[in-house]
Structure 1
Amino acid sequence: MVIYADILFITNLYIDFFLLVCVKNFLHMQVSGLRLLLGSLVGATCSMTALLPFHIPTFLSVLLGAIAAILVTGAAYAPVKEQMFLKLAVCYWFFSFLFAGFFMLVYQLFAVNNLAVIRGVVYLNISPFMLFGLTLLAYIILTLLQKILGPKESDLRFCKIHINKAGKRVTVPAKADTGNALCEPFSGLPVIIVEQDALQGIIPEAVNQFWEGGGEGLLRLIPFDGMGGSGILPAFQADAVYFDKLDTPLSCYIAVCKGKLSSGQFQALFNPDLFPSA
């Protein structure tokens, strides 16, 4: 079979994008489509190793695959914590093997002459329509496999929260955490902890003044004490707060956290036991 570099590049650009979408959904990562596209461009570039004119030993081929997974993961998701980066790279590599195995099965069952898997790199010299169909079918199979295995408890704890303030709205990926027992001291209302970066556009100026050493009188101050340390978080009441797909507004305070709450999976923490509608 004659392998054309442009077709090899475009095919793997397309497939790597789907792989990164799978990883994003599987690990609940919050990342833009442009970052996924950047990662798929790196992956497509790495696929050019299939054109090397000499034989590569199996162990070296596996090593090249691991390096490619690291480069693709870094382009799509960095910066993240080391443990999460390793999880992302392994997950991407795992999905890559599943996709390659799926196309090998198609090749063996249907004797597709325009398909080849070289050193784990998929080459498809077929129409764009068939390429889309095969990739979509592989994606559906992976999704069904995850459904059959059953949703994990950690999967059920993720949702989105909509926060309205002064005519503006932000949508924040959140995680349920029964360890978050924070309540506003005077009203007793539950507190949702949100990263400061996620509130850009609606965050009160008093919060910024608080971090600079003033503005306390315009805010509620929420003391906290946990394994990560202790301190005080500035909090405010939004005009309206909703869980995704629920129309019942939440009575709560929004506590602003200056640091990061995760490696990219969520930007808010709430205690589901304190919200009956959850």
Structure 2
Amino acid sequence: MIVYAEYVLLENFIMNYIILHMTSKFSKYPSKKYKLLIAAFISALYAFIIFIPSLHFLFTVIMKLACSMVIIVLAYTPHKFKDFFRLLGIFYLITLIFGGAGFAIFYFTNFNGIISNGIFYTTDVSAKNIFIAGGTAYLLIHFVWGYITDQVKKDKIFLKVKIQIKDTIVECVGLVDTGNALKDPLTNYPVMVVEYKALEHILPLEITDVFSSSKYPSLEQLSEIFNHNEWITRIRMIPFKALGTENGMLIGIKPDMVFIEKDQDVKNIKDIIVAVYNNELSKDGNYKALLHPDLL
């Protein structure tokens, strides 16, 4: 059987680019188009190893994994290990679905091909079959991914939270947010983000006046008010990063105690900072606080 090199390169380049693009889309990790094109082209060259016996050691499992990692770095340049392994996992998931869809299409169209060292080579591939396989895989991923994310949303953990300062306690519903990694730079205590409206009744009049007049009051504003007040020892500045905000600051307050209720259990937490968020955390009002995962 004759295997045409240009077909091998074209097939792999198209499918690899689609897979890399889909990985970026479903991981919500942005990447430059030229990076995806370069990574897709280099990964397409991997199939040519079959023609070079001296490079057949690259067909081992460890080398295949290493090559996959290189492709992820080339395509996305992740700066954190967490992002790197998340991209790698999604990349493999999408690759498996695309591979299954491709094999199904080729099977039902009576393809002629061979499998060598885990790589599939076909001689009668057509643009039509490539796009049918790609389209089928896209639909599978789209609907399956949507179902999975819906199930994850349903399983979000909502807990009852009570915040105490002196003799006053306020209650609200908190969502355990695995993306909340905020910590107080001064004490390294975990930070719980709470809507201002949920805390309004527990704060002194001086603080509520500041938040009413300014959406994001500064530490200087609060320092002027509490320069000779015991509340100054409770005030913290919590730096944060978010989409569109590189060097944000939240006003934090040290409560006397926070109670987190889960089922019949109540956890009392003293080493914690409550960051005041002068906006809505949930559009539908299901929760008023974001809990740091370390609190559980």
TM bucket by the smaller chain? Answer: 0.5 to 0.7
Contact 1:100 1:121 in 2 (8 A): no
Letter in 1 for 2:119: V
5+ long unaligned stretches in structure 1: 158-174, 192-219, 224-229, 235-253, 260-268
* Deviation readout 1:57-97 (Å, 9 max, x if unpaired): 8x953223212210110001113211221221232123223
| Corresponding letter in the other structure for 1:221 | S
Report if the CA contact (8 A) 2:72-2:88 is conserved: yes
Residue 11 of structure 2: aligned partner:
11
Q: Please tell me whether the aligned partners of residues 59 and 117 of structure 2 are also in contact (alpha carbons under 8 angstroms).
A: no
**SS where residue 257 of structure 1 aligns?**
strand
Supply the AA of the counterpart residue of 2:63.
L
**Alignment pair present for 1:221 and 2:230:** no
| Distance (whole Å) between structure 1 residues aligned to residue 279 and residue 179 of structure 2 | 6
Counterpart CA distance in 1 for 2:48 and 2:109 is: 26
Distance 2:117 2:278 in 1: 46
TM-score by length of 2: 0.52
* Residue pairs, 1:88-237, within 5 angstroms: 88-113=87-112, 115-124=113-122, 125-153=124-152, 179-181=192-194, 185-187=210-212, 221=218, 231=237
What is residue 63 of structure 1 aligned with on the other side? 62
**Counterpart amino acid of residue 103 in structure 1:** G
Contact 2:35/2:74 (8 A) holds in 1: yes
Q: Which residue is equivalent to 1:257?
A: 246
Q: Percent identity?
A: 16
1:273 maps to which residue?
Answer: 281
Residue pair 2:39, 2:75 contacting (<8 A) in 1 also: yes
Q: Which has the larger radius of gyration?
A: 2
User: d(CA) in 1 for partners of 2:71 and 2:245?
Assistant: 33
Per the normalisation by structure 1, the TM-score is 0.55
CA shift, 1:52, in A, is 3.8
Contact kept? 1:15, 1:135, Cα under 8 Å: yes
Displacement, 1:126? Answer: 2.4
Aligned-partner Cα distance in 2 for 1:87–1:93? 10
Root-mean-square deviation (CA, aligned residues, Å) is: 4.3
